[in-house]
Amino acid sequence: MASTFWQSTVGKKIVMGVTGLIMIGYLVVHMVANAKIFFGPEEFNAYGHWLRVMGAPVLHHEWGLWGARVILLTSVILHGVSAYQLSRRDIKARPEKYVHSKPRMSYATRTMRWGGVILGLFIVWHVLDLTTGTVHSGGFQEGHPYQNVVDTFSTWYGNVIYIVAMLAMGMHVRHGFWSAAQTLGAGNRTRDRAFKALANGLAIVLTVGFISVPVGVMTGVVS
């Protein structure tokens, strides 16, 4: 069963669709939680603390958090490995370009592969910056996420990296969400407008929602 999925181009695409939807679900929660930053350091830092005691008293300290991390990391790896293997195959299946060629696909569709690579690199930077603090600009303080976020978005490169990555994320979600609907067999003629609208809506809301944080810091709303 598992090998049927992994050996087939259709199966591998289904793996990408499911893991992609898991990550979109996470992004929605992450974006909504980010909005807490506009209500002051106490509320935001308390939320950061809650993530560690999530599921208590059933779950031990940080078990819920690590569970989520394992699911997300597995999703990112499966999504990336599938994309890499399918892309290699696609390039091999069309080795010769047309002499007379014209770009016809939408920008979001054409940038899925490189956009995905940019997002992968961004995730590494984002974790090293705000979770481990390894590449953090100011003095990284464990347990003070509010101050850490303000520090990151007080540097020009922090803002540039974040905003570029969020624009790439928006485009990736735009084609990715609609594609997942087709890959998982949910799309059809009558539902297509709804799926397209949902994909565009998700892309816009997520992009604007995430970018509002660095904009908030830049304009002094968050400081």
Partner 1 sequence: MKLTLRVWRQKNADTPGAMATYELDGVSQDMSFLEMLDILNEELIVKGEEPVAFDHDCREGICGACSLVINGDAHGPERTTTCQLHMRSFKDGDTIDIEPWRASAFPVIKDLVVDRSAFDRVIQAGGYITAPTGSAPEAHATPVPKADADYAFEHAECIGCGACVAACPNGAAMLFTSAKVNHLNVLPQGSPERETRVLDMVSQMDAEGFGGCTLTGECATACPKGIPLFSITSMNKEWLRATRKVKR
Distances in Å between the Cα of 78 and the Cα atoms of 38, 82, 134, 189, 204 are 34, 6, 26, 30, 26
Q: Fill in the per-residue mask, 44 to 73: x = in contact with partner 1 (CB under 8 A), - = not in contact.
A: ------------------------------
Q: Nearest-CA neighbor of 66 among 144, 131, 148, 120? A: 131
Q: Which of 90, 124, 141, 208 binds partner 1 (CB under 8 A)?
A: 90
Q: Fill in the per-residue mask, 116 to 155: x = in contact with partner 1 (CB under 8 A), - = not in contact.
A: ----------------------------------------
Q: Which of 142, 156, 189, 219 binds partner 1 (CB under 8 A)?
A: 189
Q: Return d(Cα 155, Cα 167) in angstroms, integer.
A: 19
Q: Does 197 bind partner 1 (CB under 8 A)?
A: no
Least separation, in Å, of the C-beta of 76 and partner 1? 19
Alpha helices in 58-110, H assignment, sequence order: 63-93, 107-110
Least separation, in Å, of the C-beta of 107 and partner 1? 12
Q: Does 89 bind partner 1 (CB under 8 A)?
A: yes
Cβ closest to partner 1, residue 176 vs residue 216? 176
Q: Does 193 bind partner 1 (CB under 8 A)?
A: no
Q: Does 99 bind partner 1 (CB under 8 A)?
A: yes
DSSP letter (8 states) at residue 223: -
The phi, psi pair for 117, rounded to 5°, reads: -65, -45
Copy the structure tokens of residue 73: 């990391």
Q: Fill in the per-residue mask, 12 to 31: x = in contact with partner 1 (CB under 8 A), - = not in contact.
A: xxx-----------------
Least separation, in Å, of the C-beta of 159 and partner 1? 32
Copy the structure tokens of residue 39: 């209500």
Q: Does 203 bind partner 1 (CB under 8 A)?
A: no
Copy the structure tokens of residue 118: 């940019």
Q: Return d(Cα 158, Cα 60) in angstroms, integer.
A: 34
Q: Which of 7, 156, 219, 220 binds partner 1 (CB under 8 A)?
A: 7
Q: Does 4 bind partner 1 (CB under 8 A)?
A: yes
Instruction: Kindly report the length of the chain.
Output: 223
Q: Return d(Cα 28, Cα 203) in angstroms, integer.
A: 10
